[in-house]
A and B are shown apart, each in its own frame.
Chain A
Amino acid sequence: MTQDNGNSQDVQERIGVYVCHCGTNIAGTVDVQQVAEWAATRLKRRGVVIGRDYKFMCSSLGQELIENDIKELGLTRVVVAACSPHLHEATFRNACQRAGLNPYLCELVSIREQVSWVHTDKVAATVKSQAVVSGGVERVLRHEPLEPLRVPIHPATLVVGGGIAGIQSALEIADAGYRVYLVEREPSIGGHMAQFDKTFPTLDCSACILTPRMVQAGAHPNITLLTYSEVEKVDGYVGNFVVTIRKKARKINEELCTGCGICQEKCPVKIIDDVYEAGLGYRKIVYTPFPQAVPKFPVMDVENCTYFKKGTCKACEKFCPTNAIDFNQQDEVFSVEVGNIVLATGYDLFDARRVTNYGYGRLPNVFTSLEFERLSNAAGPTNGSIVLRDGKTVPKAVGIIHCVGSRDRNFNNYCSTICCMQGLKFAHLVHERTGATVYNFYIDMRTAYKAYDEFYQRVLEEGTLFVRGKVAEVTDVPRIKDEEGHLIIQCEDTLAGKQRRIPVDMVILSIGLQPRADAKETAKKFGLSCSADGWFIEKHPKLDPVATMTEGVYIAGCAQGPKDIPSSVAQGAAAAARVLGKIQQREMALEPVRASINQDQCSGCRICNNLCPFNAILFHDDRMVSEINPALCQGCGTCVAACPAGAISGTAFSNEQIMAQIEGLMLLNVGEEITL
């Protein structure tokens, strides 16, 4: 460590340079002492008054070094050469702030990820580190003190998706005393959980544990339930979102409807219910999806309604005792103001028709998991009888196939988490209800969470026959007499080492989960991104699974990735906690690192408008210039690079600062080229 006596003549600033060893992570490849000395001597005329090296700068003692120097040496700028800013930028900024220096006058340059971790030549690495530090010094000279932006937080919250995760979120926020708008696309809340029969591993009846929550959500004074509705547009920024919602016309006047159900009874047209009954059952045109629906109001399926197609019928209107049918009802479009948004839009199921070798859609007695749930459900199309597609025969042998459409590069290349437990659950239910012989075909048995392996043991005890082998084919073509009249599952029993053909009566495909078909559009609407597999991307996969890169928008449940019910509930609660934390604070400090447009230079070409991944740029039609909303801007720099007029600059990444950093990197500031 060397010290200057305050004789720098070239610049007014007083810069402290701190080089971290990071144990041997940096010091093993870079001569950190050398770099610190070099900075103190060679960059003295650029304002460096002190250069230190230390084992772990991020430790309390390391931070104290900086704080003391600021106080005692009157430092006006700080450069820390250590790890990536992603990790400790906040640490050093806070240290500066504690010592009374504006945190944005501190610059962290990476000599770990960008030098010691990618080079092996010590000499070259040390020289490169010097260059990197030099670049940091030049840049920080052009930094300006910045204050974070403070925005107020509106206390209302929007929860999109009325499944179990969304309901959990909504209830927790509402219980804390704040308003929630719960928007659900289907006529009733409940989500997929409302379709199941029993849930693993406790074998709780799904509706029995769900409906109390549904009722609570429906009746809660702080929850505005907006079912059969969709979000059309999201404007604004964290704390101040303006959301446009379309409430689709149910054709039922909710003020007058008592939920008596006569319209449903009297409707003469029945069609296949593709949504709730998974295509196994029927519903009327005017219908509630299931008896425990919340809210109780039915909905009219305008596309298939006789009145809307031909102008006749109107039976529902005739019989409605309270005159609640309104054929002329229109969609309502309105806006709400909210401070935070929770996206809990759930999942779609893998389309089993795509796996043609399993015969779903061609062989009648091949069922999907959801179809089986409906069969098994006492309120389902067969009143809980597990029967074949003819509606009456009880199967004597059932095969349950795991990993359908999951862990498969031909379809979805990830594990859907719940299908092993689902398969075990089906095995148990089939045993219980029919006494049939049950086979489960699996590759690996994934029963990871609490009480899951116990459930596996139970299913083993019940005499389920497990075959380790991914099923190759389900066929109805017999080769021997015993196979006639059956479905044959052909697979390799990998543990026995032989190909087997097992005759069964019924096949259940444990299909995987997929992101919603319109997940990409939804993500765009809310300013999120989707991963390669299509799930919404969280802020950090390990440490921040419910926040997103867009401030104020949170994700919960299967929208973030396949998971079981307890995990969905936990995420819903976590998102609620984050939202409540924000609401509590009343206002929020936003990072002042953001772009701004010099409107004198803006030519109104609007190239930047569509490039912004955060929809932060608006265009003023009257003045023909663009403007950046500082609260939405995340400082990514895309518009700065794109502007052909160079009219956009960023605080903390202005053109000037970047050019200076480059010059510093090339050691032009000390008048020498880099040589080795």
Chain B
Amino acid sequence: MLSHSGRTRLECFFLKKEDAMEIAPESQAPPSPIPKLIEDLTLLDEVSNRTAGVSRLEMCIQCGTCGGSCPSAADMDHTPRMLFAMIRAGMRKDALMSNTPWICVSCYHCVVRCPQNVHIADVMYTLKGMAIEAKLYRDSTAPDFSQTFVDMVEEYGRSFEFGLATRHYLKHFPLRLPSMAPMGFGMLTRQRMSMTPRRIKGIDQLKTILKKAKEVEAVHE
């Protein structure tokens, strides 16, 4: 599973080799000369079931309102609409490797405008989770960030921005750190960022709850 409980505070900051989420070997394998069926038609149901609420993904009429509304569409491999077409076509690998869900900013423009009331933003979250599980993504920046955030929360019960930022930038944008210094300095001197994490009293209770939640999730996947 994906939890990293049981690690010390210091361990959370420093990088470990096993932290790095490598791209799965099979997606790097040379293409086989024998054609294989690429469609996995169970993909639509799987995505739908793992989404909060009723996703209504099967109701999509491919009108393109979501792709038209998205403020970050220009940076996406596929527009949201295209991604849904791929999911319905069962193109599992292509869909999960797409950077689309990672570029989604959760602004919900698509959700309120969709004429078929598809829970688009929540489907994006599901795809993120499925991509992490299958280790299918080209750029690990976003998944790593999320995972680090989650590690902090599971350790302390609160987010810890300083730790998050440090670890994240050290790993992914080390060259930008110097130029970020003024901003970091500004935030620290105004005490808008704390150098030490805060911990909730009921952290054990939270850990128990999350552990159980992961078990429940595993059973029902």
Contacts and interface: CB of A to CB of B under 8 A. Distances in A.
Interface of A: 357, 403, 407-410, 443, 468-473, 490-494, 497-499
A656 B78 CA distance: 69
A471 B79 CA distance: 14
A490 B79 contact: no
11 contacts: A357-B69, A409-B115, A469-B64, A472-B66, A472-B67, A472-B113, A491-B65, A492-B65, A492-B73, A497-B82, A498-B79
Nearest to A443: B63
B99 to A, nearest CB: 15
B56 to A, nearest CB: 9
Interface residues of B, number: 22
**Interface SS of chain B: helix, strand, loop or mixed?**
helix
B113 A410 contact: yes
A233 to B, nearest CB: 41
Contact of B68 (A409, A410, A492): A492
Contact of A357 (B67, B81, B113): B113
A492 B66 CA distance: 8
Contact of B109 (A407, A443, A470, A472): A472
Contacts of A472: 64-69, 109, 113
Given A469-B68, A492-B81, 10 more contacts: A403-B63, A410-B115, A410-B117, A471-B68, A472-B69, A492-B68, A494-B79, A494-B81, A497-B79, A498-B73
Interface string B48-69: 0000000000000111111111
A312 B171 CA distance: 83
B92 to A, nearest CB: 20
Contact of A407 (B64, B69, B115): B115
A60 B109 CA distance: 62
Contacts of B24: none
A492 B115 contact: no
A376 to B, nearest CB: 28
Given A470-B63, A494-B62, A499 B68 contact: yes
Given A472-B69, A499-B70, A499-B79, A494 B64 contact: yes
A492 B79 contact: yes
Contacts of A443: 61, 63-64
Nearest to A492: B67
Contacts of B117: 409-410
Given A407-B115, A409-B116, A497-B79, A473 B69 contact: yes
Contacts of B61: 407, 443
Given A497-B79, A499-B74, A468 B64 contact: yes
B112 interface: yes
9 smallest beta-carbon distances between A and B, as pairs = A492-B67, A472-B68, A469-B64, A492-B64, A408-B115, A472-B69, A491-B68, A470-B63, A499-B73
A493 B73 CA distance: 12
Nearest to A407: B115
Interface in B60-113: 61-70, 73-74, 78-79, 81-82, 109, 112-113
A639 B218 CA distance: 57
Contacts of B69: 357, 472-473, 490
Interface in B104-154: 109, 112-113, 115-117
Contacts of A357: 69, 113
B61 to A, nearest CB: 7
Contacts of B73: 492, 498-499
A409 B78 CA distance: 25
A492 B69 CA distance: 8
Given A409-B117, A443-B63, A473 B79 contact: no
Nearest to B63: A470
Nearest to A467: B64
Contacts of A469: 63-65, 67-68
